[in-house]
Amino acid sequence: MDCIDGLAFLVGGIMGQVAEYFSDIFKGVRTLIRGMKVTGYYVTHPRKEIITQQYPENRDSLQMFERFRGEVIMPHDENNEHRCTGCTVCELACPNGSIEIVWDRQINEEGKKKKVLDKFVYHLQMCTMCNLCILSCPTDAIKMGQNFEHAVFDRSQLTKVLNKPGSKLMKGVED
Amino acid sequence: MYFKRHTYFVELTSWIHEGLGSSFSPWLASLIEFVMIGGVFVGFFTVLALVLVYAERKVSAFFQQRLGPMRVGPWGLLQTIADALKLLLKEPLMTSTSDKFLFNAAPFVIMIASFMMMAAIPFANGLHALDFDIGIVYVTAVSSIGVIGILLAGWASNNKYSLIGAIRSGAQILSYELSVGLSLLTIVILAGSLQFSEIINSQADGWWIFKGHIPAIIAFIVFLIAATAETNRAPFDLAEAESELTAGFHTEYSGMKFSFFFLAEFANMFIVSAIGATVFLGGWMPLHIGDWAGFNGIMDIIPPILWFFGKTGFIIFVMMWFRWTFPRLRIDQLLTLEWKYLLPINLFNIILMTWIALTGWHF
């Protein structure tokens, strides 16, 4: 009996190995075909799938995507007003000192001395577009712009003042 | 019928032959014919490389959701010509520790192997340089001369990356040559001849991949895999695995000598595809379906050279599809695939095909 059991065990083992051999081939071929289907879809649908841009040619119609980080900008409304209070939170948040806030004390209409923004100095050459200033800003005064063509011939042109001359703080931001 | 209709290449070659024979002595006429054929092949190789490199770059771009070369000429059509000019003008560099004779000989060995294989390919009715009665044996034999070139290049460069690449390539081609030869033999059993023109003529009423059904399709798939491996293309490009061996066996080559390897790689891809098209897909024979006279008549209008290049282009496209889809194999996986899977399947397939041929179960 032992002998027959052993033989059955041996045959069973061999059968198992044979089944595994063929199932390996089957599975391998199936996964390869699955991969070829994906790339085959790409090659047969070029209009839909190609994501490369012909950059200098389509410069006029080029739309950067929403979350692209080109540079820090400060939006101004039609009255030349911005939302920056000069609180320097962004300056403190910046890991490499790209932002310098120059602030001033002025007397407002209530007769109180008040801290106001004089110059928002932004050093583009040091900025890593980490987005921490935008996240830390309590009044949403700054955001990331879409422009990425920053090449200039002189380094000093990269140091920018973001608040426009003569601009002032929007009413109601500080309340 | 198809033979009688498209005989312009037969007429052209016999016209040249008779013209030369009437004005020169026989051996001088033969010599001029040899030079002419050599010139035609050199020109064909150049055009082939330019077209295939452009095709490869465009096809790979489309597989990877890119556009590929777009700047030089419309749709980048002149890109490969610009690249070829750059390679021609480049300085051929050589390391001081390399074996100078072997280093310079290696590119020529590879090119000679490609030329010898190319000679045996039937392009169209009558457009066939060498029609040996042992054509398939000849092709499989000379295809292995190419590996000597790779081994020489790897050894003579005196560079560890080159040597590892060359040794890998040796192991690979040695293994996969078996599968290529055996899968071609499967069809030779049906066709009953090793001569390329005979194999094509036997497919006048239907290609072997249809007439031989199951075993022919298995042999075709095995041939595709093994041919991809023989030409050192991805996923079997261990000989020049960029991420591991910088450029493998041609790391130390530059300029024209490098472009010889490049040219031979693309020429070999064309050659194995052409052999696959000839043996499995009927070469320059048109697609005929049974008794559909109208359909067959339309197919007969298309000249044989277009059929040949269409079928070859299809196989080249499938090989490019493999290249840009599958990840590279490890050397042990490569040898396992050949010795544990392809070879046993192939041997069994030959027995199956012999059985089918003997019992007449093929069409």
DSSP assignment letter at A117: E
pTM over 0.90: no
Who contacts B205 (Cβ-Cβ below 8 Å, separation ≥6)? Answer: B211, B288
Q: Are A80 and A166 in contact (CB under 8 A)?
A: yes
| Structure tokens belonging to residue B252 | 């130390």
Q: Are B262 and B50 in contact (CB under 8 A)?
A: no
Give the rounded percent of residues in chain A with a pLDDT score beyond 90: 7
What pLDDT, on the 0 to 100 scale, is given for residue B303? 82
Radius of gyration for the alpha carbons in chain B, expressed in angstroms and rounded? 21
Q: Please identify among residues 296-315 of chain B the ones whose CB lies closer than 8 Å to any CB of chain A.
A: none
Per the CB < 8 Å rule, is A35 touching B325? yes
Per the CB < 8 Å rule, is A40 touching B321? yes
Considering only the top CATH level, what class is A71-167? alpha beta
Closest C-alpha to B56, from B80, B32, B88, B90: B80
Residue of B nearest to A39 (CA): B63
Could you give the 3-state DSSP secondary structure of residue A145?
strand
Min Cα separation B165/chain A (Å): 26
ipTM of the complex: 0.72
Burial of B233 (0-12, 13-18, 19+ CB in 10 A): buried
Task: Band the pLDDT of B88: cuts 50, 70, 90.
Answer: confident
Residue with structure tokens 């030869």?
A: B181
| Structure tokens belonging to residue B177 | 């040559």
Per the CB < 8 Å rule, is B65 touching A49? yes
Domain spans, chain A: 2-49, 71-167
Strands A81-82 and A71-73: unpaired
DSSP assignment letter at B338: I
What pLDDT, on the 0 to 100 scale, is given for residue B3? 64
Q: pLDDT tens digits for A40-73?
A: 888 888 777 778 888 888 888 888 888 888 888 8
Residue of B nearest to A37 (CA): B325
Domain spans, chain B: 94-359
Task: Inform me whether the pLDDT recorded for B293 exceeds 80.
Answer: no
Per the CB < 8 Å rule, is B65 touching A50? yes
Q: Most A CBs within 10 Å: which of B325, B328, B346, as the mutation test of the A interface? A: B325
Q: Among partner residues B59, B65, B341, which is closest to A25 by beta-carbon distance? A: B341
| Structure tokens belonging to residue B46 | 């150049």
Per the CB < 8 Å rule, is B67 touching A52? yes
What pLDDT, on the 0 to 100 scale, is given for residue B295? 75
Residue of B nearest to A57 (CA): B71
